[in-house]
């Protein structure tokens, strides 16, 4: 139930009428909390009997049971006069993949948060920025034409939900071409950043972090979802 409450707090507005996917069996206590929100579809690997009865009480709700499935390694997208075929993004970064590029290194908790934020970034439409603190998604800015706009959107959403960004971390799905995003994030309270790196102006962002006691790590992998 704690995971449900923390996840819901990350965007209680967008959650209304949405699809809920769980990675563990839903118990009675969690089902009662879920039932307080209008949720159209629920998918989980299992349900306690009493929990299932609670979830069934909502009319027209679709309740699904998760099954194991081997997804194909290729993805197909329709295009004008053809089809785009690409390898599926199967990479999930671990601590050993991170390269600290600043004088300040992220703390143990920040590393956990950076990796968690990076997982969310991977599955979010670009341009995207994700803000995380203590294992909780605080806000994300998604599908923007500018990375700065995505960051400002995330900061504004976090504030509207009552979150304090002091000590939070930021993940970006692609590199920062300028130091402006890092500066905006730092002034909002962000203390650590994860990004792919690879811009010809990477050093500008690194220099800003070094001058303001912010840690930054590179992954070398660009999760750029369209």
Helix/strand/coil percent split, the chain, to 5: 35, 25, 45
Task: Tell me, yes or no, whether 54 and 105 share the same domain.
Answer: no
Instruction: Look up the domain containing 169 and give its range.
Output: 95-218
85 falls within a domain: no
Name the DSSP class of 107: P
| Residues in CB range of 152: below 8 A, 6 or more apart | 141, 184
Together in a domain, 141 and 193: yes
Is the overall model pTM greater than 0.85, yes or no?
yes
Q: How far apart are CA 174 and CA 197, in angstroms?
A: 7
Q: Render pLDDT for 80-110 as a digit per residue (tens, 0 to 9).
A: 889 989 888 888 999 999 999 999 999 999 9
Considering the domain boundaries, does residue 89 fall inside one? no
pLDDT of residue 55: 94
Task: Tell me, yes or no, whether 80 lies in a domain.
Answer: no
Q: Is the residue at 51 inside a domain?
A: yes
Residue 71 in domain: no
Is 76 part of a structural domain of the chain? Answer: no
Question: Quick check: is 124 in a domain?
Answer: yes
The CATH number of the domain holding residue 165 is 3.40.140.20
Number of domains forming the structure of the chain? 2
Whether 224 shows a pLDDT value over 80: the answer reads no
């Amino acid at each position: 139930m704690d995971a449900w409450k923390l996840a819901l707090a990350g965007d209680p507005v967008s959650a209304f009428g949405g699809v809920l996917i769980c990675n563990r069996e839903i118990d009675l206590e969690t089902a009662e909390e879920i039932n307080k929100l209008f949720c159209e579809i629920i998918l989980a690997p299992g349900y306690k009997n009493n929990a299932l009865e609670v979830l069934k009480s909502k009319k027209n709700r679709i309740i699904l049971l998760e099954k194991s499935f081997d997804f194909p390694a290729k993805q197909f997208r329709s295009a004008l006069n053809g089809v785009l075929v690409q390898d599926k993004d199967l990479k999930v970064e671990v601590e050993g993949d991170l390269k600290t590029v600043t004088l300040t290194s992220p703390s143990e908790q920040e590393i956990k948060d950076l990796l968690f934020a990076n997982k969310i970034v991977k599955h979010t439409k670009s341009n995207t920025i994700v803000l995380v603190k203590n294992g909780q998604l605080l806000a994300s800015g998604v599908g923007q034409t500018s990375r700065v706009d995505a960051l400002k959107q995330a900061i504004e959403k976090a504030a509207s939900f009552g979150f304090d960004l002091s000590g939070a971390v930021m993940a970006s799905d692609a590199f920062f071409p300028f130091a402006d995003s890092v500066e905006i994030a730092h002034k909002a309270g962000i203390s650590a950043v994860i990004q792919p790196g690879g811009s010809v102006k990477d050093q500008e962002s690194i220099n800003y972090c070094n001058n303001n006691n912010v840690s930054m790590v590179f992954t070398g992998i660009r999760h750029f979802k369209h």
